Amino acid sequence: MTVPVPEIFYSPQSAISKLKNSFGITNAILIQLSSWLSLIAGFFLLCGKETSLGWFIFVYAAGVLLFSAAKISSALLIHLFAEILGGEGKITKLLFLLCFADLPFHFLLPLGLLLKNASFLAAVPVILILWGWSAFLTVKTLQVNYNFLP
């Protein structure tokens, strides 16, 4: 199934519901990896930092490990609280759907190109806005996965 990328942005709930039924793990992993790649590359661009290919790969690999650990731990916590609150859903599905919640971080790449060398201070609000958007998609994901829909 093709990931309905535009739909996730303008109609997240229905897009996530569709994704829940498809379970295309390769797409999810690719989107998650490219989100983190955009986050790191965008941050480098906004801070006006140049580096070697080796260093970039090292930073990216370290970032993937760190973000993965954070994602799995947060998913475990979310799952625990969701079950306590009476939600019904699988943690594997949650992890799969959470990959799409990071989609807004892809915007950091074009924004980084536009605001290149704008300094660390410019990077912070941009990342915060995208993080807020990602948090909104995470909430939608929880609602869909644990049937917390109003």
Partner 1 sequence: MNENESQSSSAWTTAIVLLYGACLGAALFQILAVSPQKSKPSEMSRLHIKKDSSPSVAVVPIYGVITIGEDGPFSNKSTDNLNKRLKALGERNDVKAIVLRINSPGGSVGAVQEVCDEIAKLKASGKIIVASMGDIAASGGYYIAASADKIYCNPGTLTGSIGVIFELANVEDLIKKIGVKMNPIKSSAHKDIGSPFRTMTADEQKIMQSVIDDAYGQFVDAVASGRKMDKARVKVLADGRIYSGAQAKANGLVDELGNLEAAISKAGELAGIKGKPKVLYEEEPWERILQSFTQSKESLFKLPGSGMSGHLAYLWEYAE
Nearer to partner 1, 94 or 102 (CB): 102
Distance of closest approach, residue 75 Cβ to partner 1, in angstroms: 25
Nearer to partner 1, 26 or 50 (CB): 50
64 touches 32 (CB < 8 A):
no
Q: Smallest distance, Å, CB 42 to partner 1?
A: 7
Which residue among 49, 69, 77, 88 contacts partner 1 (CB under 8 A)?
49
Candidates 50-58, 75-83, 91-99, 121-129: pick the segment binding partner 1 (CB under 8 A). Answer: 50-58
DSSP string for the chain: ----HHHHHHSHHHHHHHHHHH--HHHHHHHHHHHHHHHHHHHHHHTT----HHHHHHHHHHHHHHHHHHHHHHHHHHHHHHHHTT----HHHHHHHHHHHTGGGGGHHHHHHHTTT--HHHHHHHHHHHHHHHHHHHHHHHHHHTT---
Q: Interacting stretch for partner 1, rule CB under 8 A, among 83-91, 94-102, 106-114, 137-145?
A: 106-114
Report whether 142 contacts 108 (CB < 8 A).
Answer: no
Q: Is residue 109 a contact residue for partner 1 (CB under 8 A)?
A: yes
Considering the complex, what minimum distance in angstroms separates the CB of residue 91 from partner 1?
27
Which residues contribute to the site for partner 1 (CB under 8 A)?
2-7, 18, 34, 37-38, 41-42, 44-45, 48-56, 106, 109-110, 112-113, 116
